[in-house]
Structures are given as structure tokens and as C-alpha cells.
């Protein structure tokens, strides 16, 4: 059952469930695209999250009650959610090395894993984009293998280098730009995910799949990485 709640004078939040899951990711991605298409003349923005969609709309064209009713009607009239056969797969090269993985050594010790096993567990999973936020192009990816789950730092770092790969609880992510943060840093990608390339703003969409590809030091540097 969906629930529609008021978010602001020109926005609503549609809740689809309470538990994060791949099935819910597919459902939210489906309805995000559908609503964007069918209400293009009314919607200002759609922000998908773990279990909900926030939709802001043009109050010069429609009021809250009418917009909420339109959204509910579209969702209830399209209850069969079909998982797309053309889900975008994004491959991200990663150097797993203590030179760039600020917490890698501590994570190996905490989990009693050697580096080869750790890399295998992290890179052989396929991760779904559950939400995009915190900063532009910061994608929250799930779900991490239970053997790699690590808590956030109690005190966040002031500066985490752009491209850093982190783990926080059962999620993993890439820091697209240098920023503060409390995730456990296990490696770094050489690719530029910053908004110096405007296409990166649309790189990650809820429902996409992300794969991490281990690279060695030479490949990392050849791809433009910096240590």
C-alpha cells in the first residue's frame, strides 16, 4: 500500500514501503520514470530515495489535492511493475591499496581477512543504486556482503579525496568530490565523477547496477589516478 504525505507547499512524498530491497528499488525506479513521463507538464523535480519518491510540482497549474490524486491514480492504475531488461550497468575501476584506502588496513584487521579475499568480496557483488544524494553524483549502493559490513566513523574526517570508495554499514559508495565524511575508505577510483563533467550529474539513477573492477597501481595511474 502506498502512502502520500505533504512535504511542502508544492511537494509530496509517496511512500512505497518501509524495508529497503531490490524489489522496492525496481518499483521506485519504474514509477519515477512513469510519473515523469505522464505528468511532465506539472512536475518540477522527482527525487527517489530508499523507500519513497518526493515530487515537487507547479502550484500555478495544480493544487495539492488534485496533484496527489493524479499521482495516486497513475500508481494504482499501473500496479504491474516490470523489471527493465536494459538496466544500465556502470563499471568503476578501483585500486584497493592502503596508500589510497585510508581505512583498508583497519578493515582487514577487523574482519580477519587478507587483501585478496577482501577485494573478492567487495568487487564480485553487483550493487543497485538505492538513492542519490549527500552531494551531486553520490550514489548509495547496496548491499555489501555481510562479511564486509563496517560502521561509520564516530567522528567524520574533514577531507576525503575525490574518488574514494567507502563502506558504511551495509552500503558502499564513491565520493565524487573531495568532502567530509564518515565512511570507511577502502580504495579509490581513478575516474573523474565530479561535475567538471556535467554528464556525471545524470550518471547514477535509482535502479542502476554498479560493478567495481579491481585495478593495480599501474592501471590506476594510467587511467589518471592520483595518490
User: Tell me: the pLDDT tens digits for 116-175?
Assistant: 999 999 999 999 999 888 777 899 999 999 999 999 999 999 999 999 999 999 999 999
For the domain made up of 3-77, give the CATH fold: Gyrase A; domain 2 (3.30.1360)
Q: How confident is the model at residue 85 (pLDDT cuts 50, 70, 90)?
A: very low
Instruction: Assess whether the region 3-77 and the region 89-222 belong to the same CATH fold.
Output: no
Contacts of 4 (CB under 8 A, 6+ apart): 12, 13, 14, 15, 68, 71, 72
Quote the cell numbers at residue 151.
560502521
CB 217 within 8 A of CB 97: yes
Query: Under CATH, which number does the domain 89-222 receive?
Result: 2.40.100.10
In tens, the pLDDT along 19-45 reads 878 788 888 888 988 999 999 999 999
In tens, the pLDDT along 174-217 reads 999 999 999 999 999 999 999 889 899 889 988 899 999 999 99
Where b means 16+ CB within 10 Å and e means fewer, 38-63 reads bbeebbeebbbbbbbbbbbbeeeebe
Distance between CA 207 and CA 139 in Å, rounded?
A: 11
Report the percent of the chain where pLDDT is more than 90. 72
Q: What are phi and psi of 189, to 5 degrees?
A: -100, 145
Would the pTM count as exceeding 0.75? Answer: yes
User: For position 135, what pLDDT does the model report?
Assistant: 77
How is the chain split into domains, by residue range?
3-77, 89-222
Amino acid at each position: 500500500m502506498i502512502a502520500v504525505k505533504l512535504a511542502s507547499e508544492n511537494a509530496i512524498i509517496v511512500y512505497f514501503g518501509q524495508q529497503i530491497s531490490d524489489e522496492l528499488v525496481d518499483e521506485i525506479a519504474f514509477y519515477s520514470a512513469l510519473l515523469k513521463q505522464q505528468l511532465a507538464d506539472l512536475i518540477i523535480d522527482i527525487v527517489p530515495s530508499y523507500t519513497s519518491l518526493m515530487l515537487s510540482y507547479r502550484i500555478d497549474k495544480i493544487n495539492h489535492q488534485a496533484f496527489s490524486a493524479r499521482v495516486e491514480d497513475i500508481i494504482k492504475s499501473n500496479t504491474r511493475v516490470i523489471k527493465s531488461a536494459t538496466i544500465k550497468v556502470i563499471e568503476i575501476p578501483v585500486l584497493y591499496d592502503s596508500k589510497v584506502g585510508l581505512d583498508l588496513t583497519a578493515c582487514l584487521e577487523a574482519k580477519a581477512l587478507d587483501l585478496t579475499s577482501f577485494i573478492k568480496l567487495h568487487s564480485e557483488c553487483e550493487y543497485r543504486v538505492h538513492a542519490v544524494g549527500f552531494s551531486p553524483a553520490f550514489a548509495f549502493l547496496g548491499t555489501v556482503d555481510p562479511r564486509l559490513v563496517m560502521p561509520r566513523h564516530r567522528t567524520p574526517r574533514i577531507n576525503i579525496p575525490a574518488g574514494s570508495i567507502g563502506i558504511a554499514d551495509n552500503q558502499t559508495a564513491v565520493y565524487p568530490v573531495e568532502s567530509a565524511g564518515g565512511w570507511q575508505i577502502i580504495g579509490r577510483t581513478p575516474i573523474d565523477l565530479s561535475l567538471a563533467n556535467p554528464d556525471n550529474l545524470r550518471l547514477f539513477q535509482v535502479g542502476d547496477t554498479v560493478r567495481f573492477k579491481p585495478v593495480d597501481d599501474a592501471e590506476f595511474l594510467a587511467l589518471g589516478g592520483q595518490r
